[in-house]
Structure 1
């Protein structure tokens, strides 16, 4: 990896429910250990990693994921939905120790299903970079509203390169209004790869995006028998340059 680059991955782990319909959190952890940990990640974002309904209870051993990947689990109590959760509405972030955290937030997003985003501002090799992860609505008009709220949040925070990754539930490669600069205040972009359904991926629901053109590279869906079995989504991996 060259200086100024972050290797990132995002994965909707479907609460440990595999493509065969069987719930097996240990299988998910094994897939992370075998397929993602060896990639030398700097950022790992998981969605649907807590239970869906209140109290959004924990499912996985986050300390095992941190040990396997060499990343830091960043969710102190203020970044969790509640005391029984590991993340915020199922979103959990793990970051490299090389990323020094300077500010953290959680953002409530409206919808029939409660949604949210996690935002972490960091210093990386002297550069400021914001890492955000979220899981957006299945309903397009709600996704537009949710992205507008994220854009309003970004306007209130210091200007720096922003990296957005997660299950954005946008099936169209071009993304439509939800990624429009006039709505978000910045143009988030990146190549797309189909990640859903994992057994025969057709839709690019999962994204890794940033403002700078061409700065999301080497993007790929991580395909293997372990990944296909462990969730209905495939993980998405990319290298993001922080100029």
Structure 2
């Protein structure tokens, strides 16, 4: 079975013109035509940390946010949110606090797509190499402690190097799709956003979404991948 996943740092819906326009982000999300999307920076960072995307409009457009919000009015856990298409059935969700100098987290969703089990992990790692390494190690150990399941890890890893640092740590158990530059949206040179899977999932295609709206809506471009889940045609 072929599914599409994507990861997108939406910068709290603030575009390159420094205007907060959730409608632009929602437009890009719908353009991706994905089954699962991991968002980063989905909520405001300070104050009540409410979501910058409307729950109502997401639902109207056919998206179901996974239940990982920090509190009522939010969409994500430390900004990390997971959007699901109607074909995805959620079995369990889990929120993870990561070791950091500033609040960082990961979210996990155990789901089934047309009856096939899959685990989705979304995260946004720190800005310094030591914290990224500690966070990657923490996530890897958390996954190893859980019952095995075909897994997709997505997010803004903030790693400029293609194989070192947190990429190297995750690669002990996951296979990364070939990197592609997603940052800065105006002139992408860094593959900060990454998608990795357990070896039992096949990456069929991957790409960066370069639509006109995507190049203005955030400082990151979305990264997508088409996957083949194990045991399916």
Residue 17 of structure 1 corresponds to 14
The offset of 1:67, in angstroms, is 2.9
Residue 48 of structure 1 corresponds to 41
- Say yes or no: does 1:80 pair with 2:80: no
Q: Is the 8 A contact 2:10 2:218 kept in 1?
A: yes
Q: Is the 8 A contact 1:190 1:214 kept in 2?
A: no
Counterpart secondary structure, 2:20: coil
CA distance in 1, matches of 2:23, 2:207: 24
Bigger helix share: 1
The offset of 1:166, in angstroms, is 1.1
- 1:88-110 CA deviation, whole Å, 9 max, x = no partner? 11111111333322221000012
Aligned residue pairs total 230
CA distance in 1, matches of 2:35, 2:51: 23
Residue 112 of structure 2 corresponds to 123
Residue 60 of structure 2 corresponds to 67
- 1:94-139 CA deviation, whole Å, 9 max, x = no partner? 1133332222100001212211111011223443211010111111
The offset of 1:85, in angstroms, is 1.4
User: Aligned Cα RMSD in Å?
Assistant: 1.9
Counterpart secondary structure, 1:180: helix
Residue 147 of structure 1 corresponds to 136
Counterpart secondary structure, 2:78: coil
List alignment gaps of at least 5 residues for structure 2. none
- 1:130-167 CA deviation, whole Å, 9 max, x = no partner? 10101111111111100111111112210111100111
Once the two structures are superposed, the pairs formed by residues 176-191 of structure 1 within 5 Å of their partners are: 176-180=164-168, 186-191=173-178
Q: Which one of 183, 207, 212 corresponds to residue 194 of structure 2?
A: 207
Counterpart secondary structure, 1:225: coil
